Structure 1
Amino acid sequence: MTAELNKPVPNFTVQATSGTTLTLAELAGRKVVLYFYPKDNTPGCTTEGQAFRDLYPEFEKAGAVVYGVSKDSLRTHENFRQKQSFPFDLISDTDESLCRLFDVIRMKQMYGKQYEGIERSTFIIDAQGVLRHEWRKVKVPGHVEQVLEALRALP
């Protein structure tokens, strides 16, 4: 099953930094921004995380919580989060269940080798748990501002 635009997102349970276990049901009543990225401590992923960090107070004003998601371990996430002073938690999706729910796993190529990896993507879930916006094949510059604008337009 995959999440579809303008439909309720199936409940999920995931592990996040700060020793948190999150479920979508617990976040009911709040807007949720999930941004999927390939790997901690890489240039594009660091830049994207920093942009969410720098605009985080604006996301809070818009009534949203932000979570970064990758397949990295919680330990790697904790280090990345502390190093970059992220005010939001990072979700460790080592079993790819959340990645598959949002259909962000794609065949990629690096140095001539093919592998499955995360396609940089962002999703907004409204306060009722309905998927309202999705961005796929994200280019980092200006992206976080677009997400914030879409979030502010939600009721």
Structure 2
Amino acid sequence: AVTVHINYLLVLDEISRAENAYPHMTGAYATIQVQWKFPRQGWIKCNTDGALVSQNQQADCGGVFRNESGAWLGGFARKLGSCSALMAELWGILSALQLAKEKGYRKVILESDSTVAIDLIVKDYPDNHPCATIVSFINRLKMQEWE
């Protein structure tokens, strides 16, 4: 199986955007330092991301593979055209899993900064969800022979 983690950098970014959208709301704040952690010996970590440029509604995704010493093993970037930010995140995850399989990586930790994307992958979702097809592809790939 593939281990899937959430990177909280995007969560903090989403909180910041919400605060800017609602400046009249106030509250207590704390600074949280987030840093990349090395995978265990023999494992590979892939960090993925998706992005949407709001001006032209064009999306991209990408990912980076690193080994247990942090050495760069490879990466990818894809232009997706017009889709949602969530779909871009999911395309990043699917592309990472496909590339990991192609490269023969069997011990993979996949990190994403999208809690919504991770929740769709690890929890149940309605069959009529707009992202159901890509999530289904991700889950089928995730269940293939990994270590």
Shorter-chain TM band: under 0.3
Q: Which has more radius of gyration?
A: 2
TM-score w.r.t. length of structure 1 = 0.27
